[in-house]
Structures are given as structure tokens and as C-alpha cells.
Amino acid sequence: MDKFDVYPGLSVTRGVKFVPRESSPMMGNGIPAQSEEARTSLIDGLGFFMFVSSAVALLVIVSFYLFMAQNPEQPAVNINLEAVRKKLSSLNTFQDAEKREFASIGRSFSYLLPTSFASLRTDPSKTVKLENYFIQVRFIADVIRKATNKPMQPGVLAKIIVNESAKHGYDPLFVSAVIMAESRFDKKAISSSGALGLMQLLPSTAKYIVGKIGNENWRGHRSLLSDEAYNIKLGVSYLKYLEDKFAGNKRNILVAYNWGPGNMNKALKGNAQIPGESKRYRDYILTNYSKWTKQLHQNRVALDSMQRAMVG
């Protein structure tokens, strides 16, 4: 018997004919007798159809998941079925019925992806940026998951931290280290002094920062506990304000965030001593920040190595 591949991985045996009973041209169940060749041909067609359908479905799902969008108006994927059909026709492995079936398929299949996806295909730097974004989100989500046992959505919170940090040019790992020290990622946290939420903002400080931002409205102190994005936005804006005030010195910025900028100014002038609690707070944040930065770098190196191995 001859064997050949219909497509990689599927071997089919040809040449065996099914001979129905001589007494009747019909099978016992009333179905016309079919040759083994015809049945195998049908199996080939179904197998190929399932293969193509699965590939297209996977393409659609992945593209929606990774590149869901605001304005999906650009055709980014076009599968030329006409070229596939010509290639199949050049092979002698398909029966005439199968060729007619493929001939009935449209000439091409197009799927609309967001405009941003088209730019990713032509700009490698955007691809790298997107990859770094997902790496940061996954890493911070893992940090959040390990830091708290409270029911929450670490992935959602991680995305907020990365997005709000990026708007102010801050490393999201630094912002995460501040949140870890302030509230351990508990958005309902309230301190004895009345500081609220993830970044433990005093309502008076938060209201002052809103005035500095200029494009935000004060929503009241309750929003600092209920809206993670709002709390982090104001908290990162406060860090940015302190960065400008203390010339980017992270040690001074962190003490000022904990102890107050007025007190930090006095300490810099020699008129006050930084409390031990503020020093421990500062060192705890910087230690976590340094540790997480190294771990994230190691993760990137491992991922790059794995990708090179897969390509090789």
C-alpha cells in the first residue's frame, strides 16, 4: 500500500477498496456503500479543515487578548487562500472532490487588528516596549500576590501602577516599593494620623497635589480608599513634586514623603535630626527597590535566553 502525508504529522493509507456485500448495492443500514478511498478522502478534508480553523481561531483570540483596541480599522492579517489552493492543486495527494471543495473557499481571509498592531510590526522599538510593559506587570503582580493575603486582583493593580508610573517617568518598581512600605497593597488602609489608601495620603496633602496637577478635580477623601488609580495617580504626583523639590535625591524624597517636606528641609539645614523611624522606612523601600530591580533583570535575561533557544 502507498502512504503519503496529507499535511505534516498525518499519514494516510491509500489503495484499499471496500467491497460491499454482493447481495445489495446498499449497506445494511441503508447508506450507499462507499469506497475506503472516498472515506479516507473525507477524513483528509475534515482534518485539514479542522487544522485551518484551529489556527485561525487561535490567531483571533491571541490578537484580541494582546492588542484589544480603541479603533480596529486596519487590516493587519491577510491569509492568501488562493496561494494555498494553488499549492494544493500542484500536489497529487488530493482527490478531485477535495479540490472542488477548496475551490469554493473565498480567495482570502482578512482579520481587522488595531492600528497600533500595524505600527508594532514596522517598529521593533514599540515591540520591545510592549514586551517590557507585560514583563513589569507580571512581575509586580507577583510581588503583590506574595505581599498580601487579601482577596484582590493583582494583575489589575499592577497595570495601574505601571501606567501611572510611566506618565510621570517613574520606575514602577520604585512606586511599588513605596506602596509596599505604606499599605502593603491594601487599598483600604488607614493610618493613625488619617493617611488613606495604597499610598497613604493625607486628605489635605492629596487636595494640595490636585491643585498642583491642574487637570484633575478633587473627589473627596473617600475616593482615596475606593479608587486605586486615583490614589496612585495622586501619590506618584506627590513623589514627582518631592523629586523637583529635593533635586531627585531618592533618600531625601522618601524621608520627606514619610516625615514631611518641611521637616526634611529643616534637617538639610541642620536644624533637625531625621527620626529613626523615617530612616528605617527609607532603607526598607530602597532595599526592596534594589532587590526587585535585580530580580526583574534576571527574569529578562532568562526570557531572552529562552527565546534565543527557541529560535535557534
DSSP states of 126-181: HHHHHHHHHHHHHHHHHHHHHH--SS--HHHHHHHHHHHHHHTT--HHHHHHHHHH
The single residue of 182, 216, 228, 277 carrying the catalytic annotation is: 182
Residue partners of 20: CB distance under 8 A and separation at least 6: 26, 27, 33
Q: Catalytic residue at 182?
A: yes
Cell numbers given for 32 = 450507499
User: Cα–Cα distances in Å, from 36 out to 8, 15, 283?
Assistant: 22, 8, 77
Q: How many CB atoms lie within 10 A of CB 171?
A: 16
Q: How many residues does the chain have?
A: 312
Residue partners of 164: CB distance under 8 A and separation at least 6: 175, 229, 232, 233, 236
Phi, psi of 27 (to 5 degrees): -70, 165
Which are the catalytic amino acids? 182
